Structure 1
Amino acid sequence: MTDTTTHRPGLILPFLRPLYATLNESAETLLRVVAGGLLVTHGYGKIMNPFGAVGMVEGLGFYPGVFWSPLLAATEFFGGILVAIGLFTRPAALASAIVLAVTIYFHGIVKMEGLGGAEKSILWTAIMLYFAVRGSNSQSVDARIGRQF
């Protein structure tokens, strides 16, 4: 049988081990809540005007825009809520990561902003991919209902 445990380097200050162990899950929860909450904030304007991005999404090659624009709005707004509270965390984070990957292309290539213009999208995409793979933890609605994808 193969050992699947990961080797972690020893701590330089081993007396901090209990602090790290105590804060480990809370730090992950904080990252999930903040990332989801910021996605809700970012999607709020789009959910108030779900057809407002029709021209932009069609400009990226997503036709018909009247389909993709509300889907974009719902993914950002409702997906952010789901990630923040930890309900259906994996599929909500995956959908958000896909939307955010498109924003990397939009800012980095279409608007020719390069890495500087796409860096926030890259960071958000990485965070959402983390939660798409990791799922939620014990401090989530998924854990309260005892199920997750």
Structure 2
Amino acid sequence: MTDISSNRPPAMLPALQKLYLPFDATAETLLRVVAGVLLVTHGYGKIINPFGAVGMVEGLGFYPGVFWSPLLSATEFFGGILVAIGLFTRPASFAAMIVLLVTVYFHGVVTGEGLAGAEKSILWAAIFLFFAVRGSNSQSVDAKLGRQI
């Protein structure tokens, strides 16, 4: 794990640095936990009925739907739990990012909503890209185990 505060340029207002630097890891952890919990919440309905999205995934060109629908459900529900607690953060975030990029395509292209329909998915994909690249910080299960993928 790398200390991201050491990679930062000097503050424009050094006096304020004492206010926000102590919250650096906490803010990152809060973003990870919120993103994970919201992904769990979004995937909860799908995990209750893992084959409920067969028609939707096949409509996007993912065949067979009986394979992709449960995979989507598990990625959102269990992947969200893993991201929230910071366990296998990189692979879980990468999987979530892929799911969200598919929703960008769905909303932006398939339904013809363009950027207005895809902007939330773009934002969520960017958040999960951050954690796929960065991994988790010292406030995670990965850190407690002393390992990160």
What amino acid sits opposite 2:95 in the alignment? A
Residue 11 (structure 1) shift: 2.8
TM-superposed CA distance for 1:12, in Å, is 3.4
- 1:73–1:118 CA distance, 2 compared to 1 (3 A): same
TM-superposed deviation, 1:13: 2.5
Amino acid at match of 2:116: G
Tell me by how many angstroms 1:7 deviates. Answer: 5.9
Letter in 2 for 1:36: G
Aligned length: 144
State the percentage of identical aligned residues: 76
Question: Do structure 1's residue 113 and structure 2's residue 113 form an aligned pair?
Answer: yes
The corresponding residue for 2:145 is 145
User: Which residue does the alignment assign to 2:30?
Assistant: 30
Gaps of 5+ in 2: 1-5
**Equivalent-residue separation in structure 2 for 1:125 and 1:34 (angstroms):** 14
SS, match of residue 61 in structure 2: coil
Deviations 1:103-146 (A, max 9, x none): 00001101111101101100000000000000000000000111
Partner Cα distance (2:148, 2:79) in 1: 15
What is the match of residue 133 of structure 1? 133
Cα shift at 1:20: 1.7
Task: Give me the whole-angstrom Cα distance separating, in 2, the residues matched to 1:22 and 1:77.
Answer: 32
SS at match of 2:37: helix
SS, match of residue 120 in structure 2: helix
Q: Distance in 1 between matches of 2:25 and 2:53?
A: 37
Q: Which residue identity lines up with residue 119 of structure 1 in the other structure?
A: E
After alignment, is 13-22 or 51-60 more displaced? 13-22
Which 5+ residue runs of structure 1 have no aligned equivalent? none
Distance 1:7 1:132 in 2: 20
For each residue in 1:17-50, what CA deviation from the matched residue of structure 2 results, as whole angstroms up to 9, or x when unmatched? 1222101000000000000110000000000110
Q: 1:7 to 1:33 in 2, by over 3 A?
A: closer
> Is 1:100 equivalent to 2:100 in the alignment?
yes
- SS of 1:82's equivalent in the other structure is helix
Distance verdict in 2 for CA 1:14–1:135, change over 3 Å: same
Match of 2:20 in 1: 20
Residue aligning to 1:83: 83
